[in-house]
Amino acid sequence: MTKKGILLVNLGTPDSPSVKDVRKYLREFLMDKRVIDIPFLSRWLLVNLIITTFRAPKSAKEYQKLWEDRGSPLKFYGEDLSKAVQKKLGDEYLVELGMRYQNPSIQQAIEKLLNSNVEEIKVISLFPQYASATSGSVVDKVMDVVKDRQVIPKMSFEGPFFNHPKMLEAIADNAKKWISQHDYDHYLFSYHGLPERQIRKAKIEVCELGDCCNVCDSNNHFCYRAQCFETTRLLVKEMGLSMDKVTTVFQSRLGKDPWIQPYAEDKLKSLASEGKKNVLAFSPAFVADCLETTLEVGETYKEEFIELGGERWDLVESLNVHPAWVDCVCDLVKS
């Protein structure tokens, strides 16, 4: 029986927490022209002579904290998700996991699907909100992998899915145990940041990188920032929270160029100055626990908030293999 191929793609992770493997990962990741969108020579010099030289040893120490017996959470949760989706979809489908950077690679995953003679391939980028540096890069890489093949099956791409009811249900369900046990002064929704220039390059005419993101409609539905704010609004509604206790921020800023705001580190200071003591944090741009969630939001921001006078900082875990998240991916497959 001919099967339908499903390729699930996440960002990627080093093969090990060694400095060598972290440096290799960072080079592939940061040399992507959609991630650091500057001329090649400038990008090569910046990545190879500065960033990986000085950042790799520091990042390796962070990955060592994150690493578990099964390896990197982002990878093994991706493998668990693929198995769960395969089981739920049944024999009509063949599900493979690929990483945009490092292993298992997109090329390896596509070759497995094509060697199994699938009649079509649907690619699902595991990024709820669309950005050129994430979902756009996946499309770029997939097409590069298949472009020279004599036979290219039907290809399709699914996403973004920032407003999918099942994804919202899974995040809200993960938050229930925290909200039921503690009384929080504030709820912080932290998304990965992007340079402002990448939003402007999308040429969204209504984009002012300000209050225009208070609504997400046909005029700005390709704007990453607008999608993030909409994700927050939908989750607030799903959980019945009060918007006056909610803030959306952006993390992981790199370099001196302006990135989309508000910045997470600035909001930590303002929350403390406002007398907020107990905060529940969310990371709705990530579907699996990883460096940017567990360590950056869960530990680094917690330490900073406590030092500023806060008393409690909790992080809602990522989707990982929540049953409603598995249902969401299956819905995306069949949509």
- The residue behind tokens 């992770």 is 13
Q: Name the nearest CA neighbour of 13 among 91, 109, 77, 84.
A: 77
Confidence (pLDDT) at 256: 83
Note the pTM of the prediction, 2 decimals: 0.96
Q: Out of 48-62, 106-120, 206-220, 249-263, which region has the weakest mean confidence (pLDDT)? A: 206-220
Distance from chain centroid for Cα 34: 15
DSSP 8-class letter at 263: B
Instruction: Flag whether pLDDT at 221 surpasses 90.
Output: no
* Upper half-sphere CA count for residue 60 (Cβ side, 13 Å): 16
As a whole number, mean pLDDT of residues 228-254 equals 96
| SS3 (DSSP) at 152 | coil
DSSP 95-108: EEEEEEESSSBHHH
Other CB atoms within 10 Å distance of the CB of residue 141: 21
Confidence (pLDDT) at 53: 94
Q: What is the pLDDT of residues 150-199, one digit of tens each?
A: 989 999 999 999 999 999 999 999 999 999 999 999 999 999 999 999 99
Confidence (pLDDT) at 202: 83
Q: What is the pLDDT of residues 255-303, one digit of tens each?
A: 888 999 999 999 999 999 999 999 999 999 999 999 999 999 999 999 9
Instruction: Flag whether pLDDT at 208 surpasses 90.
Output: no
Q: CB under 8 Å to 322, separation ≥6 — which residues?
A: 170, 173, 174
User: How big, in percent rounded to 5, are the helix, strand and coil portions of the chain?
Assistant: 50, 15, 35
User: Which domains, from first to last, does the chain contain?
Assistant: 4-161+323-334 (3.40.50.1400), 165-315 (3.40.50.1400)
Tokens matching residue 74: 């982002």
Confidence (pLDDT) at 156: 97
Instruction: Flag whether pLDDT at 204 surpasses 80.
Output: no
Q: Name the nearest CA neighbour of 247 among 185, 331, 318.
A: 185
Q: How confident is the model at residue 335 (pLDDT cuts 50, 70, 90)?
A: confident
Query: What per-residue string of b and e applies to 88-115 under the rule 16 or more CB within 10 Å gives b?
Result: ebeeebbbbbbbbbbebbbeebbebbbe
Q: What is the pLDDT of residues 102-147, one digit of tens each?
A: 999 999 999 999 999 999 999 999 999 999 999 999 999 999 999 9
Confidence (pLDDT) at 205: 75
Tokens matching residue 217: 């409609």
- The helix/strand count (H/E) of the chain reads as 12, 8
Instruction: Flag whether pLDDT at 36 surpasses 80.
Output: yes
Q: Name the nearest CA neighbour of 137 among 108, 98, 100.
A: 100
